[in-house]
Structure 1
Amino acid sequence: MALLYGLLWRLLLVLVHLHRTLVSWLRLRLRSWKGRLWERAVAALLLPVALLGFPDHQKKLNQNRDSNPSPVTGNRAASRRSQWLSDGQALEKLPVHIGLLVAEEEPSYTDIANLVVWCMAVGISYVSVYDNYGIIRKNNSRLLEEIVRQQQDLLGVDGSKYNVEFLSNGNDKHQHHVLSCRPVVKVLSPEDGKQSIVQAAQQLCRSVENKERTFKDISVSMLDTLLRESKNIPDPELVVKFGPIDSTLGFLPWHIRLTEFISLPSHIDVSYEDMLGALQQYASCQQRLGK
């Protein structure tokens, strides 16, 4: 009888877990659907006005008149750049390296590119983009194209002042230089997490086998050195996770001992205010570093 009660109890726990997961998914979809429905209604009412200020439409209107960008659009972009830089300087602390962990199956490259450009604009030097399925890495050229496009749309013609060094493989070869202060954008996948630890351990074993080192030379600090050399970027101080899953999903397990994690519901239709709120939350947190 006790065994039967135990099985029933486990079944109830599974049902409760499934119910919570379904409720979270429905809330996220409902919020996204409502937001898009409202945006479409407003767009339908204000379409004539919106078209006048829309950069792509304005560009088409000026093709036969003048090849120079619209002064209004340029002023708007300059104002945004100034505001974003001011927001970054107003924060008590700003991460040097931020990770964007996408815990959702279908990435939106436009929204991810927006996040990257916002991070660059407020003064963050390193941006890592990670998803558990490796989809973004397989399509890194598409993400790069979106970053370049969003630089032009969000930052205007002066967007070229924000250099990007795009790194997407284990050798960290420079695939593209968009710009001269050179923020670094790196695409990560699960291969850069646990797999990199395995590869570093194998490298140490081979060095012992080849008598380049002895087993007494192998230590945690040596493994740490190998792992950091393979990444060639500082540890992330902040990781912003997008999605309903409460997990790091294998994001650089060796490098996040002191990393602050902040969760947002989704990266789809994420706003600059959402991202700034996460940076403000990080700036106000006290990291005791184990003390």
Structure 2
Amino acid sequence: MLSRLLRQFLFTLTHLVVNVLVAVQNVYSRFWAKEDDFPCNQGTENDIKVILKHLPNMKKKPKHLVVLADTSEHSLHSLALVVIWSLVAGVPYVSFHDITGELKENEEKLFLEVEKCKKGIPGCIKWSKMPNLNGYTNGTQAHTVTVNIFTSHDGRPKIAQCIRDIANNKVSCKREADEFTAQELGDALALFYPSIPDPDVILYTGSLCSAHGFLPWQLRLTEFVQLSTDHCINVNSYVGALYKYNKCDQRFGK
């Protein structure tokens, strides 16, 4: 009985200490990297220097990075910076999962904010529903990042629609048996989504780790990385997330 109480006490004490340390770290990060410390262009330039400094230390980069975007907590400016950082880091696909449903309605505002932050930065940003840039800077091929915004309607409802179309023979896909294999179902679902790879890493803020209904089939092998508990997004937490992804050993069921 005494040993059980002791274990419970140590367990509670450990959680309390960890929560205090995380809170102190987040408060320090927020005050150390205030957005108001620099003008927009100068702040972006400093962010780029930070990314370029750490980039040579990373052995792998995600092909598809996803941010769980909560517009009640995240500003359009901070989400726009994620696109710019990914452009500099050479991440070819960036997607936002619109948790509140407001980001999709304000996609044009996000587009304008990204263009505002991108001034002077070489590269091409392509939008699923926006005019594409040409992808060239001074006659040379620059990095390209493709941006998508998904909502909850792109998750389970679209999978259900895919299965209904399969049952009604409206989807042209290969079948070697009466039952679909995982690969065959994946090929069928690929017809319902933009031509993007499955997400390698999902970035989220806050204490709750949840997919919020984001593309449940595609994220079965995705790594979830927390940026902060206080919903703060800055270049240091972004670089830290890339380092955490580099340390992940994706065994793919081995």
TM range (shorter): 0.7 to 0.9
Report which stretch shifted further, 248-257 or 128-137.
128-137
- How many angstroms apart in 2 are the aligned matches of 1:212 and 1:280? 39
Question: What amino acid is aligned across from residue 120 of structure 1 in structure 2?
Answer: L
- How many angstroms apart in 2 are the aligned matches of 1:253 and 1:185? 19
Partner secondary structure for residue 225 of structure 1: helix
Question: What amino acid is aligned across from residue 203 of structure 1 in structure 2?
Answer: D
- How many angstroms apart in 2 are the aligned matches of 1:278 and 1:251? 19
- How many angstroms apart in 2 are the aligned matches of 1:204 and 1:260? 30
1:284 corresponding residue in structure 2: 247
2:124 corresponding residue in structure 1: 163
1:270 corresponding residue in structure 2: 233
- How many angstroms apart in 2 are the aligned matches of 1:237 and 1:186? 15
Q: Within 5 Å, which residues of 2 pair with 1:3-14? A: none
How far did 1:110 drift?
0.5
Question: What amino acid is aligned across from residue 125 of structure 1 in structure 2?
Answer: P
Q: Is the 8 A contact 1:102 1:243 kept in 2?
A: no
Deviations 1:52-97 (A, max 9, x none): x8478xxxxxxxxxxxxxxxx7xx94x8646534533320211011
Partner secondary structure for residue 229 of structure 1: helix
- Aligned mate of 1:199, from 145, 161, 177: 161
Q: Within 5 Å, which residues of 2 pair with 1:158-237? A: 159=121, 161-167=122-128, 174-180=129-135, 181-207=143-169, 219-220=180-181, 221-231=183-193, 232-237=195-200
- How many angstroms apart in 2 are the aligned matches of 1:96 and 1:227? 19
Q: Summarize the Cα distance change of 1:99–1:108 in structure 2 as closer, same or farther, 3 Å threshold.
A: same
Question: What amino acid is aligned across from residue 187 of structure 2 in structure 1?
Answer: T
1:109 aligns with 2:83: no
- 5+ unaligned residues in a row in structure 1: which ranges? 1-19, 44-49, 57-72, 168-173
1:244 aligns with 2:203: no
1:134 corresponding residue in structure 2: 101
Larger radius of gyration: 1
- How many angstroms apart in 2 are the aligned matches of 1:270 and 1:144? 18
Indicate the RMSD between aligned Cα atoms, in angstroms. 3.7
1:145 aligns with 2:108: no
TM-score (norm 1): 0.65
Q: Summarize the Cα distance change of 1:219–1:90 in structure 2 as closer, same or farther, 3 Å threshold.
A: same
Deviations 1:182-211 (A, max 9, x none): 310111111111111011112112227x99
1:68 corresponding residue in structure 2: none
- How many angstroms apart in 2 are the aligned matches of 1:212 and 1:35? 50
1:97 aligns with 2:97: no
How far did 1:108 drift?
1.0
Q: Is the 8 A contact 2:87 2:144 kept in 1?
A: no
- 5+ unaligned residues in a row in structure 2: which ranges? 1-14, 136-142
Question: What amino acid is aligned across from residue 227 of structure 2 in structure 1?
Answer: L
Q: Is the 8 A contact 1:103 1:243 kept in 2?
A: no
1:61 corresponding residue in structure 2: none
Q: Is the 8 A contact 2:205 2:226 kept in 1?
A: yes
- How many angstroms apart in 2 are the aligned matches of 1:138 and 1:162? 26
2:138 corresponding residue in structure 1: none
Question: What amino acid is aligned across from residue 270 of structure 1 in structure 2?
Answer: I
- How many angstroms apart in 2 are the aligned matches of 1:226 and 1:145? 34
TM-score (norm 2): 0.73
Identity %: 24
- How many angstroms apart in 1 are the aligned matches of 2:91 and 2:146? 9
Q: Is the 8 A contact 2:48 2:85 kept in 1?
A: no
Q: Is the 8 A contact 1:102 1:130 kept in 2?
A: yes
- How many angstroms apart in 1 are the aligned matches of 2:190 and 2:158? 10
Looking at secondary structure, tell me which structure has more helix per residue.
1
- How many angstroms apart in 1 are the aligned matches of 2:78 and 2:173? 48
